């Protein structure tokens, strides 16, 4: 490895025994170029390193030898938007990385995989996997034309494989090794191959037993294989942007109706022959016979299942006291987009139901909200919300809020406090980066005013994207929610996030019902429900429309409108 020029970042990391290191590509590009396009040799003196990122460095062409051997504790390696090729990766990844869980090589222009990942020259055979703990592999934005079966040997525990923006022509193609003991990729749940040149989606896609999410949008597919219906766990599939011959199927695809697509293929849609359809009919009769033998009724089971994922929309015209949010003009320069609604009938009291709900919200913030950079969710106990509400802006030294788990404080003091906590946490854990709430502080950098949601008493109940208020905090006894999604990106993102939030809440409600956990005495429940009545979890959730208006009362947003919730319609039954 090259050692040109000083590397104070590496000296500090060694001195502080850091576990995390992030080198900004633009800042180190000259030093990398001076060192022959390789990582500096000093990097090999950081054996405690667990997370390494160097992205956006056009000068980085090679890792250099010995990286894998020198960093045995590495669990995260992010090398996005560099100029790495398979040869440049080969030396650095030449040995096993037993702890590596995430590898991001997106945007490097790779035309082939390095040998360590099963590319040409892989002679692993029966050798131990090079990446036995690898869970996520991002190869998006390269120039890959094919993948070999060696990847299944190198990373047998892979759960997410991202391949969008390459030049793949077939899927799974050569990704799956010839038949052998055990299923290849037994844990692979997400496969993303959008924006390639895929003209053939093979029937062996059904050989992925854990596949839940498949994205092959914007390819060259003219037909979908009937074998998709045999994927036992497939819940989300995106086939949009393909020149499908079957126009009925294309309509389902454009409506994001995954369940309907799979049922259509199972029932004999395009791509299924007569013999296969006949076999399916035989299997269907066997299932019906078994259901009768077990004393069950298939249709009744479907009705009961649907009832647990029902949402009934209460229109503004039907609501005697609809909630309204007024938006002040100043928010358009700070955080302009907001969508709100009321969801009634949730059951957070049993067992860990509340904990699951809060964990789900955190996961949405990480995933669909992209770590709160594109949108932020706030959830409130409706009974504690004093309407009407105003979505407004206030200067940092005037905005006061009682954050979750804290005393009332000014926004500027809260951010200063959080910055200090973040720095202290980073030093204690010997990390370069911070975690938790502290990751979002930079989203307000340079703002003269901060966005806030204010109730009728003048109290701030939400301060996006940082926190909402202790005043409207959700508790186990909460049954009715006021939901809010804000964004500085687009209104549609707010709606998409809200759609997903409602779906996930309905799924959690069903889970709570099916896994009856202790939540009080049976006598109390009988008294509430009466003999023979439905438990609260069996009733459909009620989704009340909320209007967002300007200061003159002109409508800006109504959620849910007739076109909302379409993205989750295959999983959620909406009664309008």
Q: What is the 3-state secondary structure (H, E, C) of 300-318?
A: HHHHHHHHHCEEEEECHHH
Pick 363 or 2 by higher pLDDT. Answer: 363
Question: For the CA atoms of 346, 351, 355, 361, what is the dihedral angle to 10 degrees?
Answer: -30
Alpha helical stretches, state H, 181-327: 247-254, 258-266, 274-293, 298-308
Q: Using one digit for the tens of pLDDT, what is the confidence trace for 488-535?
A: 888 989 999 999 999 999 999 888 887 766 544 333 333 333 333 334
Pick 446 or 485 by higher pLDDT. Answer: 485
What's the mean pLDDT in 149-170? 92
Write out the two tokens for 15. Answer: 């001195």
Residue 125's pLDDT band (boundaries 50, 70, 90)? low
* pLDDT (0 to 100) of residue 300: 46
Element spanning 33, H or E: helix 25-34
Domain at 11-117+130-174+184-270: CATH code: 3.80.10.10
> Strands, E, within 179-232: which ranges?
190-192, 200-201, 213-215
What's the mean pLDDT in 13-38? 87
What's the mean pLDDT in 46-56? 90
Fold designation for 309-512+538-574: Phenylalanyl-tRNA Synthetase; Chain B, domain 3 (3.50.40)
pTM attached to this predicted model: 0.53
> Strands, E, within 290-446: which ranges?
310-314, 324-327, 337-344, 376-381, 389-394, 400-401, 409-410
Q: Is 223 exposed, middle or buried (0-12, 13-18, 19+ CB in 10 A)?
A: middle
- What is the Cα–Cα distance from 389 to 325, expressed in whole angstroms? 5
Contact status, residue 2 vs residue 41, Cβ threshold 8 Å: yes
* pLDDT (0 to 100) of residue 281: 55
* pLDDT (0 to 100) of residue 431: 61
pLDDT at 447 over 90: no
- What is the Cα–Cα distance from 75 to 134, expressed in whole angstroms? 8
Give residue limits of the domains in the chain. 11-117+130-174+184-270, 309-512+538-574
């Amino acid at each position: 490895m090259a050692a040109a020029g000083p590397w104070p970042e590496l000296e500090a990391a060694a001195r502080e025994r850091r576990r995390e290191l992030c080198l900004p590509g633009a800042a180190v590009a000259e030093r990398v170029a001076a060192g022959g396009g390789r990582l500096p040799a000093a990097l090999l003196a950081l054996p405690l390193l667990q997370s390494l990122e160097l992205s956006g460095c056009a000068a980085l062409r090679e890792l250099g030898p010995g990286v894998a051997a020198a960093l045995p504790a590495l669990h995260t390696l992010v090398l996005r938007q560099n100029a790495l090729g398979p040869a440049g990766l080969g030396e650095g990844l030449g040995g096993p990385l037993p702890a590596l869980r995430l590898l991001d090589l997106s945007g490097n222009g790779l035309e082939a995989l390095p040998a360590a990942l099963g590319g040409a020259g892989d002679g692993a055979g029966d050798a131990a996997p090079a990446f036995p703990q690898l869970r996520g592999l991002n190869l998006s934005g390269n120039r890959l034309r094919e993948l070999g079966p060696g990847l299944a040997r190198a990373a047998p525990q892979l759960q997410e494989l991202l391949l969008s923006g390459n030049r793949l022509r077939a899927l799974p193609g050569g990704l799956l090794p010839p038949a052998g003991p055990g299923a290849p990729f037994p844990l692979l749940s997400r496969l993303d191959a959008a924006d390639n040149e895929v003209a053939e989606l093979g029937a062996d896609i059904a050989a992925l037993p854990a596949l839940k999410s498949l994205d092959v949008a914007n390819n060259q597919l003219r037909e979908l294989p009937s074998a998709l219906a045999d994927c036992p766990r497939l819940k989300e599939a995106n086939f949009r942007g393909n020149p499908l011959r079957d126009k009925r199927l294309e309509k389902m695809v454009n409506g994001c109706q995954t369940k309907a697509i799979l049922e259509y293929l199972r029932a004999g849609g395009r791509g299924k022959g007569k013999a296969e359809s006949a076999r399916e009919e035989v299997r269907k009769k066997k299932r019906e016979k078994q259901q009768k033998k077990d004393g069950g009724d298939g249709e009744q089971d479907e009705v009961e299942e649907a009832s647990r994922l029902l949402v009934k929309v209460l229109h503004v015209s039907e609501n005697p006291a609809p909630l309204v949010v007024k938006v002040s003009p100043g928010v358009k320069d700070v955080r302009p987009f907001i969508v709100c609604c009321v969801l009634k009938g949730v059951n957070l009291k049993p067992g860990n139901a509340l904990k699951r709900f809060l964990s789900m919200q955190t996961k949405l913030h990480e995933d669909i909200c992209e770590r709160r950079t594109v949108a932020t969710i706030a959830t409130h106990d409706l009974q504690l919300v004093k309407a009407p509400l105003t979505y407004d802006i206030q200067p940092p030294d005037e905005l006061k809020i009682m954050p979750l788990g804290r005393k009332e404080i000014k926004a500027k003091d809260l951010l200063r406090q959080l910055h200090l906590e973040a720095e202290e946490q980073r030093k204690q854990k010997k990390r370069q980066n911070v975690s938790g709430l502290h990751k979002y502080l930079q989203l307000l950098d340079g703002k003269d005013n901060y966005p806030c949601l204010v109730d009728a008493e003048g109290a701030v109940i939400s301060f996006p994207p940082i926190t909402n208020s202790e005043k409207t905090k959700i508790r186990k006894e909460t049954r009715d929610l006021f939901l809010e999604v804000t964004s500085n990106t687009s209104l549609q993102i707010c709606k998409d996030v809200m759609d997903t939030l409602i779906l996930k809440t309905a799924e959690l409600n069903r889970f709570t019902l099916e896994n009856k956990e202790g939540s009080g005495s049976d006598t109390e429940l009988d008294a509430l429900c009466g003999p023979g009545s439905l438990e609260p979890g069996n009733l459909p959730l009620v989704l009340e429309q909320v209007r967002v208006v300007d200061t003159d009362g002109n409508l800006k947003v109504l959620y849910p409108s007739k076109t909302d919730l379409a993205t989750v319609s295959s999983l959620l039954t909406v009664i309008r």
